Amino acid sequence: MQDWNVVVSVHDGHYRRACAVLGALGEVAQTDYYNVLVIHVDDREEFLRRLAALVAGAPDFLEVVSRIMPAAEAFTFQSAGEFEARAKEIVRAWLPRLAGRSFHVRMHRRGFKEQMSSHAEERFLDEALLHALEQAGTPGRIDFTDPDLIIDVETVGQRAGLSLWTRDDLLRYPFLKVD
């Protein structure tokens, strides 16, 4: 599936159950990566609400999946340079929400092993945002202990999904597990 906007990491031995349960929430597809599924959903907020209700009614579902990450924005890229340009454009749109706040970028990369380093891309986006916030007169700061916001970057092959989560979002949706 080329137009996914949700990435799911599944615990060993639970792949079929994850597909069956998540299939009620969106179009599920397998990937070339071990225990990784992708989903296309039409409405991210509705998906989060329905998933939260599912987890509340069947908390053991969190033993099936290790993390579920719906993206706010997704795109396809052909090179590390194209990834950086597109990702930077997306995160810059979040500058008003990041102004004067603490944050960090966390990347979960699947594929592009020789072309991109998760750590280097996290640092690239952190630095780009810090610079842009400073220029806007609303400096932010990097915090890995208790940030106000976390930017999650997911890649599966040559597609990336990005999302911005507040501390409250992460408490409300414990299945996200960004870090």
Shared-domain flag, residues 57 and 81: no
Shared-domain flag, residues 28 and 112: no
pTM above 0.75, yes or no: yes
Which of 37, 70, 103 corresponds to the end of one domain?
A: 70
Please give the pLDDT value at position 110: 93
CA distance 175 to 179: 11
In this structure, what token pair is assigned to residue 36? 């990784």
pLDDT digits (tens, 9 = 90+) for 88-139: 999 999 999 999 999 999 999 998 887 889 999 999 999 999 999 999 999 9
Please give the pLDDT value at position 1: 66
Shared-domain flag, residues 121 and 159: yes
- Residue 176 domain flag: no
CATH number at residue 96: 3.30.2130.30
pLDDT digits (tens, 9 = 90+) for 35-88: 999 999 999 999 999 999 999 998 888 899 999 999 999 999 999 999 999 999
